[in-house]
Structure 1
Amino acid sequence: MSLRREAYLLAAPAVLLFLGIVAIPLVMTLLLSLHEWSSSGGITATIQLGNYREVFSDSYFAGIFARTLRISLATTLACILLGVPEAYILRRMREPWRSVMMVVIIGPLLVSVVSRTLGWALILSGNGLLSKLLLALGLTGTPVSLMFTEAGVVIALTHVLVPFVVLSVSASLGHMDPSIERAAQSLGAGQFTIFRRIVLPQAMPGILSGTIVVFTLSASAFATPAIIGGRRLKVAATLAYDEFLNTLNWPLGAAIAVLLLIGIVLLVVGWNRFVERRYIQVFS
């Protein structure tokens, strides 16, 4: 048996698994999005692009996709601003405190998404902990509610997604020799210069991978926007859900899902190439 044939046989189970749980469902969703739907006749086998024309021609769908992009970008930025310093501090800690802080950081991932989001709903509501704290401090004279707002959705998403940035950046910084920072400091480099010229280039692969993970998860998130945002603050995922289960317009819901997937892939690929091309020039 040749080496090439052995390689094909070894890869066959993984390829079949990929086709079964990824490729085939995506193709079926794409085909479903090309069908026609009517309230009287249901789904017909007519192949057409009417669902995509409806999405692109209606400003209602454009506003929802724009809101999804805003929430995803804001969540990604918040996770970077919080996660990178956390990862740097975590790297400089010693055992056993490093292990304790790692458990604290990944703690949100150990809780059910519904339970965690309902907890944030209790905090962000008008009579919740945040509102009572602001009233007690005299920062506001009326109850403040972040429910059904983009800010509330961003806060809840950041809480659960920031560990992905911390873990990615920590893995990148783990390969850096601590003596390099001490050598730069002995040569007169300031803390900002050390961070910009030494730490940040080492952390950039982790920042890039963490950014991609956070953006894709926040753009496709469903439970958190559905609970915190409610029906007044729809995103692409909740819109596709409504089309599937409320209006029963499965082809339109499939078209929304396909466009969301294409948009995420294009943005991630573009961001990946931009960062890989630019950060070397900036930090060299």
Structure 2
Amino acid sequence: MGYIFILPGLLLVSFLFVGMFILGFYSFLTHDPFEFIIYEFTLENWERLLGTTGYYNIFVRTIFMALLITAISVVLALPYAYLTIRVRSSLVRKLLLVSLFVPFFTGVIVRAYGWLIILGRNGLVNSFLGLFGIEPVRFIGTQLGVVIGLLQIMIPFAIIMIAPAIQNIDRSLERAASNLGANRVSTFRHIIIPLSLPGIAGATIVVFTITSATYAIPALIGGGQVDFVANLIYRTLFDIANWPLAATFSITLVLVSSIVVLFVFQVIGTGTLGVDTGENDE
């Protein structure tokens, strides 16, 4: 009877596979400016993707930025999640939880416009820098601005994935490390991080997949200068109505993201089972 509960998940996955099959089918069709799609098979879309430097650069930028955001998010989320779980003061814990969940109460578009106000030429950051005689720094339309905007969105996801893993770590292990002379940094490095690998793996996968498919932040804060693949797909689909080429971009993004996720499973995921507990010494 228990298998009945997995039927909704199987049904959802089946719909996803159907959608991917349709996209794959469209990627081999011919584009026509008047009829949109002609059901004649061609490799032109894939040749155009592989032979156009501009498309290649956008894909490289998307993957690089997604990996960068993922790495920074996980590094910053680890101490925040640890402090949230281990802090003794209930007031501090509540404040940390509130600051974690408040961003989810507003949409991505609203937060993006908030960063436009903060990072704009006449925004709060440049106004503050102006007090010290520093010339305005350009954030909007730069990779730095996009990184800042994405980090504010992705760090909470990483914290939510890592916190349960830290919650499951036996505190006696930390006390034992302290009794053996380890300081807080050594304990965090040799106890907390290795035992948090399941959460780190989950955070890495979630943050990377969401970032690689993001649209709003690169479109608004990037100002059309730091486009991701999602922005390219949007323009291809709605500006020139080239559905087969847009399907090609979509399939390629899914394939590349899947390869990275599989790599994470291999490198970090297997490490979650590789913590030495002394049970396999025989």
What is the TM-score of this pair, normalised by structure 2? Answer: 0.90
Aligned twin of 1:255: 248
Deviation at 1:211, TM superposition (A): 1.0
* Letter aligned with residue 143 of structure 1: P
Aligned to 2:113: 118
Identify the match of residue 148 of structure 1 among 138, 141, 146. Answer: 141
Change (3 A) 1:260 1:194: same
Q: Structure 1 residues 57 and 9, CA, compared in 2 at 3 Å: closer, same or farther?
A: same
Alignment partner of 1:54 is 2:48: yes
Q: Judging changes above 3 Å, is the alpha-carbon distance between structure 1 residues 10 and 130 closer, same or farther for their aligned structure 2 residues?
A: closer
- Cα distance, 1:170–1:278 mapped onto 2, change above 3 Å: closer
Structure 1 counterpart of 2:214: 221
Does the 8 A contact of 1:56 with 1:62 survive in 2? Answer: yes
Aligned partner of 1:212 among 186, 195, 205: 205
Deviation at 1:115, TM superposition (A): 0.7
- State the Cα RMSD in Å: 2.1
What is the distance in 2 between the residues matched to 1:156 and 1:8? 42
User: Residues 192 and 7 (structure 1 numbering): CA distance in 2 closer, same or farther, change over 3 Å?
Assistant: closer
Matched with 1:136 is 131
Listed one character per residue, the Cα deviations across residues 100-157 of structure 1 (whole Å, up to 9, x for unaligned) are: 311211221221111111101111111111111122134x2x2112111111111111
Distance 1:282 1:27, change over 3 A: same
- Residue 136 of structure 2 aligns to a residue whose secondary structure is coil
Contact residue 201 and residue 283 of structure 1 kept, 8 A: no
CA distance in 1, matches of 2:7, 2:193: 40
The equivalent residue for 1:108 is 103
- Equivalent residue number for residue 191 of structure 2: 198
What's the TM-score once normalised by structure 1's chain length?
A: 0.90
2:223 pairs with 227, 230, 252, which one? 230
Q: Return the letter of the residue paired with 1:65.
A: F
- Does the alignment pair 1:179 with 2:172? yes
Q: Flag the 1:16–1:88 CA change in 2: closer, same or farther, 3 A.
A: closer
Residue in 1 that maps onto 2:280: none
Provide the residue aligned with 1:159 in structure 2: 152
Partner Cα separation in structure 1 for residue 21 and residue 84 of structure 2: 43
Query: 1-side partners of 2:177 and 2:5: how far apart?
Result: 48
* Equivalent residues, number: 276
Cα distance in 1 for residues equivalent to 2:268 and 2:14: 31
Give distance in 1, aligned partners of 2:197 and 2:132. Answer: 39
Task: Work out whether residues 162 and 196 of structure 2, in 8 Å CA contact, stay in contact via their aligned partners in 1.
Answer: yes
Question: Separation in 2 of the partners of 1:11 and 1:228?
Answer: 40
AA at the equivalent of 1:219: S
CA distance in 1, matches of 2:170, 2:76: 23
The equivalent residue for 2:68 is 74
Q: Amino acid of the residue matched to residue 183 of structure 2?
A: G
Q: Percent identity?
A: 30
Q: Which runs of 5+ in 1 are unaligned?
A: 1-5
Shift of 1:9: 6.2
Q: Is the CA contact 1:75–1:155 (under 8 Å) kept in the aligned structure 2?
A: no
- For structure 2, the residue ranges without an aligned partner over 5 or more in a row are 278-282
